[in-house]
Structure 1
Amino acid sequence: MSGHALIAGAGIGGLSAALFLAATGWRVSLFESAPVIEAVGAGLQLSPNATAILRQIGVLERLGRTSLAPKAVRVLRARDGATLALMRLDRAESRWGAPYLLAHRADLQRALLDAAAGQEAIALHTGVALTGFASGPGGVTAALRKGMTRFEVAGDCLIGADGSRSLVRGRLLGGDDALNMSRRAAWRALVPADRAPPEALRPESCLWLGRKAHLVHYPLRGGSVVNVVAIVAQEQGKADEGPFWSNAADPAELVETFKGWHESARALLAGAGEWRKWRLHDRDPLPGWSAGRVALLGDAAHPMLPFLAQGAAQAIEDAGALGAALGRVKAGGDIPGALSAYGASRLPRASRVQLESRAQERIYHLSGPAAFARDLALRAMGGERLLARYDWLYRAAPA
């Protein structure tokens, strides 16, 4: 079918959806409110459930040498740096059918943009904001604004890939959909390799567990930098308005939280020249993701806490499922039915990831006797048994 899909948002989910739809014969108009799609952001853990899908649209190959396949996930105790568990990832391809990769968000976005630029069926419009839409039996009309100019574009469906504060979601649900504010904030930085302790340059994803805080780090871009994410308590304050890379933060705030941690962790934190802070939030799972010819995707459908590192991966899964559902629609076929089927196929899994990410938050930030018991359990289970707990997640979801 040569339908016309309108997509609001040119992030990872929106670009991935555009590529999948173009591959099935759809024409795509992609609208991004930012005037320029900048190469910004921080690191991403691309688990096999995501890389298997990126491979289908030729994006995995485009990541090339900018991505890193870690040898393991290492879990460490904050106070003394002791290894609590080592989950080996060197057999990721044979175990889950695709590699486990670490990549910079900007590198993934560039690979998606390059792939989209090679598709005549995809038209990307930057500096264009969605202001409203109307959906009817014969199609959907998007109301758009570019600077002071307002105009409309008609299509066969509208996909809201416009983030956790999605205008599309808000219009579909009528505003009764509050953010769930976490009592934590994520601090993110890139540390140059020459300012990082040597152990931080190992090809591993490291997770440090401490009292009411945790730290994640891994090397990126051939080991030239180390991506660092520190999750700390933040009891007060509202949600940040911009993307996390636009919110500067004072590193002095981190000193008190991490003063009792092992010297390697403190040295890594001290090596960062600039920090960005983002107040964590999610929303409750929805009963459905579509209404008529309008559907949600990525954070617009299922914003989640980062404790399973699945935000980007789940958006990529959405894109694959959306492409499969709409790709089966024949000329004059049932587009609302296809969008409903897409949501039904994805909602149980994405909702589970949302809820298990919340549960993981509690486990990571235990203190006192509860933390001691958690650490004993991690050592007793061992890396292989711990890894088996993620088999359900890392295997690609069926289209």
Structure 2
Amino acid sequence: MSSVNSASKFRVAIIGGGMGGLVLGLCLKKYALDVQFDIYESAAKLTEVGAGVLMSPRIWTIMQELELEEELVKVTGAVDRAGSDILFRKGDEAKVVDIVKLHQLHTFQRSVLQQILSEKLDAKDRIHFSKRLTSYSEPTSPTEPIILHFKDGTTATCDIVIGSDGIRSSVRRTMFAKLSDESERHGHIEDASRTRVMVEPIWSGHVTYRGLILASELSEDLRRFASTPQILCGKDRHVVLYPVSGGELVNIVSSVYTPGSGTVYDGPWVETTTSDKVAKLFEGFNPNAVALIKSLREPLGWALHTVPKLTTYIKGRSALIGDAAHAMVPYQGAGLGQAIEDGFVLAKILAHSSVTLTNVSEALRIYDDVRRPFSQNVQQGSEWNGMLYQLRRAGWEDISVEDSAAGRYPPELLSAFEKDVKAQMEWQYDPGASIKGDIAKVSGMLETLSAQ
């Protein structure tokens, strides 16, 4: 573990070295020079599971703030710095039906993005591997250190603990166990029960199959088709595809809905399957989409789980970010983006001159007040988008699989789809909803904190 820096106003322990943890560390390094941080990662090295990621204009603003734009543009081979268009199409017919186009999305291979973030962070002495947190102990005194307990029997101390440890977060488990215990001690048994169930993830009813394809292995027609970022919508299933790594690879995400959301998923959360099995689930879809699915080598099947709508992201000197706080279905391409926003906003708060060890709990309430409503709205919107992409809302509810595939539906339903998806995605593109506006709001709240 790193030694205590006497010049630091407090020490932050980031539990989890995934994307959210790396961005938080990078933001602290840039904006909070008087804050010491350490990252505790359960794996033996940094690994990132997944294929492609999307960035909206809100997140691109943060990449610009962190001086990453030039390098990110270079690795994507992007011609337009503003990003690519993404086309929404009805894809469960033999011939696709174009519905609406949205603008300014940046696409990346997930592992490449992680590599860039870790190189920019350049804090190898602050990342401690094979450290799986089991629990933490926070004393009642606001200045005594928090004790971190790891599975290997070791401990470490910090002043603030940030849970960036994913959907099965140990920080969330400890936090909500303590909240539940406190409710029980005060006789609030129903509140205690509601709080305790927030520990466990919930199955969304969706299974997603992901993978990457070498563009060079595709026919010319398929390469041309896959060069356009697009979402192919269909009854109870949809396909997302877009190029990454300058067009050398194509990212494929195909999702299937099964009624049963909120139940316990009977099977492994992640497993390797075959392209033929996945293609069979998409029989009747556009032939190009099916051909791309068949080109996948050992796609991974993910049973998508989410985190319940939490009553808080904080307790005392602990806070949750990313999937630990608001794991969501990926149907706004916003899960990673929300983790980045969490880290950016939290770092700005911790860096503020008014925030000290004695009032940091109050400062974390500002983080919760700003980030929890916003991220939970995105979480809900992602669920709604999944219903829309799979033609289970906006008037499509009573259209059967057969009628949808045969084109037997009122044409005005396409207009309803367009209106709905624009409304759901507006927050990502609206200049009036910039992340800079959130930072201005936070700064104003911190000035009030300073005056207390």
* TM-score, normalised by the number of residues in structure 1: 0.87
Q: Distance in 1 between matches of 2:358 and 2:241?
A: 48
Counterparts of residues 1-399 of structure 1 (less than 5 Å)? 2-23=9-30, 24-25=32-33, 26-38=35-47, 40-67=49-76, 68=78, 69-89=83-103, 92=104, 100-117=105-122, 123-136=126-139, 137-138=142-143, 139-145=145-151, 148=152, 150-174=153-177, 175-177=196-198, 178-196=200-218, 197-202=222-227, 204-234=228-258, 238=265, 244=270, 247-328=271-352, 329-366=354-391, 369=399, 376-379=412-415, 387=422, 389-394=424-429, 395-397=433-435, 398-399=438-439
- How many residues end up aligned between the 2 structures? 380
Q: Partner amino acid for 1:102?
A: T
Give me the identity figure in percent: 25
Contact in 2 for aligned 1:200/1:217 (Cα 8 Å): no
Residues 268 and 303 in structure 2, CA contact (< 8 A), matched pair in contact too: no
TM-fit CA distance, 1:4 = 1.0
Q: Deviations over 1:276-324 (max 9, x none)?
A: 0100121221121111011100000111111111110000010111011
- The question of whether the paired residues in 1 share the 8 Å contact of 2:399 and 2:409 is answered with yes
Tell me the alpha carbon deviations over residues 343-388 of structure 1, each in whole angstroms, 9 at most, x when there is no partner.
11101111111111122222222366276668633347769x9546
Alpha-carbon distance between aligned partners in 2 of 1:260 and 1:193, rounded to the nearest angstrom = 24
Say which structure, 1 or 2, has more relative contact order (CA 8 Å, 6+ apart).
1
Q: Secondary structure at the match of 2:285?
A: coil
1:185-216 CA-to-partner distances (Å, cap 9, x unmatched) read 000011111333133332x3211111211000
Match of 1:96 in 2: none
* RMSD (Å) for aligned C-alpha atoms: 2.5
Q: Deviations over 1:109-166 (max 9, x none)?
A: 111101111x58x711111111221112223121224xx5x32221110000000110
Q: CA deviation at 1:234?
A: 4.5
Deviations 1:43-67 (A, max 9, x none): 0011111121122222333324222
Q: Structure 1 residue 82: deviation in Å?
A: 2.4
Identify if the C-alpha distance between structure 1 residues 180 and 194 changes in structure 2 by more than 3 Å, giving closer, same or farther: same
Please say which structure displays the higher CA radius of gyration. Answer: 2
The answer for unaligned runs of 5 or more in structure 1 is: 93-99
Q: Quick one: which amino acid aligns to residue 54 of structure 1?
A: M
Task: Give CA-to-partner distance per residue, 1:24-56, whole Å, 9 cap, x none.
Answer: 121110000010113552000111111211222
Instruction: Tell me which amino acid in the other structure corresponds to 1:376.
Output: E
Cα distance change, pair 241–112 in 1 and its aligned pair in 2 (3 A): farther
Bigger drift between 311-320 and 178-187 goes to 178-187
Give 3-state SS (helix, strand or coil) of 1:308's partner.
coil
Distance 1:187 1:115, change over 3 A: same
Q: Secondary structure at the match of 2:399?
A: helix
How far, CA to CA, are the matches of 2:416 and 2:379 in structure 1? 27
1:342 shift after superposition: 0.6
1:334, distance to aligned residue in structure 2 (A)? 0.7
Structure ranking higher in strand proportion: 1
The change in CA–CA distance for 1:129 and 1:257 in structure 2 (over 3 A counts) is same
SS at match of 2:331: helix
CA distance 1:293–1:382, shift in 2 (3 Å): closer
* SS of match in other structure, 1:369: coil
Q: Deviations over 1:56-109 (max 9, x none)?
A: 2223333242224323334233212323224142xx4xxxxxxx2000111111
Matches of 2:215 and 2:295, distance apart in 1 = 9
- Rate the CA distance shift 1:373–1:131 in 2: closer, same or farther, 3 A: same
The aligned amino acid for 1:105 is R
Distance 2:370 2:360 in 1: 15
Label 1:72 to 1:355 Cα distance change in 2 as closer, same or farther (>3 A).
closer
The answer for unaligned runs of 5 or more in structure 2 is 1-7, 178-195, 392-396, 440-452
* 1:164 aligned counterpart, secondary structure: coil
8 Å contact kept, 1:195–1:268: no
Using the size of structure 2 for normalisation, the TM-score is: 0.78
Cα distance in 2 for partners of 1:368, 1:66 equals: 44
Q: From the superposition, tell whether residues 376 and 198 of structure 1 become closer, same or farther in structure 2 (CA, over 3 Å).
A: farther
Query: Residue 331 and residue 266 in structure 1: after superposition, are their counterparts in 2 closer, same or farther (change >3 A)?
Result: closer
